[in-house]
Structure 1
Amino acid sequence: MGDATVVDFATLDRMVRNAPFHAWLGVSLKSVSDEGVEIALPWREEFVSDPNVRYTHGGILAALIDLAGDYAVAARLGRGVPTIDMRVDYHRTALPGPLVAKARVIKMGGTLATAEAEIHDENGKLVASGRGVYLTLAR
């Protein structure tokens, strides 16, 4: 298991969009390289947590951190992987607008992989960051 991606953009984008939850979110692959992945999340009114302030629910941000980390690992394995553990830090409210998650693999192992991700708003401001541990052991 090296540091290089083993799937092309079109294949990984199909993998990202394939799950019904991902389709509901509206996520798509923005880029993939040996350095990591970028996943775009368009704005949806259903993401609102507080109708008065209209900020994005933290669960949506956590899901985006998780799936960006997962697909950074998947780009190297050619398959999705289950999440073992995850942590998220919320840095500012995510107001209505598209978001981009950038993720990279920190450690790739035969049993576990660790990836980190950052979410930025449309102005490039850091909204949330996190780290996940994923099971890489072949099923």
Structure 2
Amino acid sequence: MLRLPYRKELAGDRESGARHVGAIAALVDTTFGYAIHRRLSERRGFATLDLRIEHLQRLTAGQDILCVGDCHKLTATIAFVRGSVYHDDPDAAIATAVGICMFTGGVAPMEAEEN
């Protein structure tokens, strides 16, 4: 789960203060990337091929947005993810989303990086 704190600079509608849909898309895409990364046993590059977001209701201005994502299927070349966006209650989704990512490079072991 990732959280996007409310910031007036991210408002898409200055009158209502509602968040810009681009900020929601970025939150979903980043959350989905983390969901895929958690499922992998080795480090792999990937790119989003398709990201579909269905907005179910208006955002409430002044509130943080949370996103949960689940990588529910992995193949040798593709990862399938799904999730939802909400304010406080995961059962009261503001939006639902599905995505498909394609692995783009070779495999590297998941070792601790040197500083």
Q: Select the residue among 75, 88, 91 that pairs with 2:56.
A: 91
Instruction: Please give the secondary structure, in 2, of the residue aligned with 1:81.
Output: strand
Identity, in percent, stands at: 25
Provide closer, same or farther for how the CA distance between residues 92 and 69 of structure 1 changes in structure 2, counting only shifts above 3 A: same
Q: What TM-score, normalized to structure 2?
A: 0.79
* RMSD of aligned residue pairs (Cα, Å): 1.6
Q: 1:129 matched to which residue of 2?
A: 96
Q: Select the residue among 105, 108, 118 that pairs with 2:84.
A: 118
Answering whether residue 7 of structure 2 is matched by residue 40 of structure 1, we say no
Q: 1:70 matched to which residue of 2?
A: 33
Instruction: Please give the secondary structure, in 2, of the residue aligned with 1:126.
Output: coil
Gapped regions of structure 1 (runs ≥ 5) = 1-37
Cα deviation, 1:29-54, whole Å, max 9, x if unaligned, reads xxxxxxxxx11111111111111111
Tell me which of the two structures has the higher relative contact order, counting C-alpha pairs closer than 8 angstroms and 6 or more residues apart.
2
Q: Which letter maps to 1:133?
A: I
Shift of 1:80: 5.4
Gapped regions of structure 2 (runs ≥ 5) = 107-115
Count of residue pairs the alignment pairs up? 102
Q: Select the residue among 23, 27, 44 that pairs with 1:60.
A: 23
Write the distance in 2 (CA, Å) between the matches of 1:123 and 1:52: 25
Q: Please tell me whether Structure 1 or Structure 2 has the larger radius of gyration of its CA atoms.
A: 2
Q: 1:23 matched to which residue of 2?
A: none
Q: Structure 1 segments of 4 or more deviating over 4 A?
A: none
Which moved further from structure 2: 123-132 or 106-115? Answer: 123-132
Write the distance in 1 (CA, Å) between the matches of 2:19 and 2:86: 13
Shift of 1:81: 2.5
